[in-house]
């Protein structure tokens, strides 16, 4: 599949409402889907939230977080109207590049197991599913 021409850029504070709308329409909700949480992310790790599309037309997002030890990828979401065009892969590649440039030697992704579209996407990548891993959360 040839990816569609899509602009990728780091999100800024003005993008928060639109990204939250994208997540509400395209991904399973989480407890951190708030303007305050996103503001904190952008302040702590500028560049971690990458969006696809121009301002007021965001069609995809990914968070590429770096804690100094491991790179984490989450909230990879593409608007339902723009799926199967290569945007998810472009976002994933941008997240990988960002994290490796920051020094990450190992990356992991958080994927909602009950989201068939998300699982299908990740199964079609070079990433390895590790079924023996267990995830615990707080909050």
Structure tokens at 94: 């941008």
Q: Which of 5-9, 13-17, 32-36, 88-92 has the lowest mean pLDDT?
A: 5-9
* 37 vs 54, higher pLDDT: 37
Domain residue spans of the chain: 8-123
Rounded to two decimals, the pTM is: 0.90
CATH number for region 8-123: 3.40.630.30
**Residue 2 pLDDT > 60:** no
User: Per-residue confidence at 76, pLDDT binned at 50, 70, 90?
Assistant: very high
1 pLDDT band, cuts 50/70/90, is: very low
Summarised one tens digit per residue, pLDDT across range 103-112 is: 999 999 988 8
């Amino acid at each position: 599949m040839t990816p569609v021409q899509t602009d990728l850029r780091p999100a800024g504070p003005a993008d928060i409402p639109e990204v939250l709308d994208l997540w509400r329409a395209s991904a399973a909700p989480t407890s951190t889907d708030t303007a305050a949480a996103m503001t904190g992310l952008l302040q702590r790790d500028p560049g971690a939230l990458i969006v696809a599309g121009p301002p007021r037309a965001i069609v995809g997002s990914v968070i590429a977080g770096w804690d100094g030890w491991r790179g984490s990828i989450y909230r990879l979401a593409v608007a339902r109207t723009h799926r199967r065009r290569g945007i998810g892969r472009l976002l994933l590649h941008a997240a990988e590049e960002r994290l490796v440039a920051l020094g990450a030697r190992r990356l992991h992704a958080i994927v909602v197991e009950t989201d068939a579209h998300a699982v299908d996407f990740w199964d079609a990548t070079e990433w390895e599913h590790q079924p023996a891993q267990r995830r615990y959360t707080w909050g």
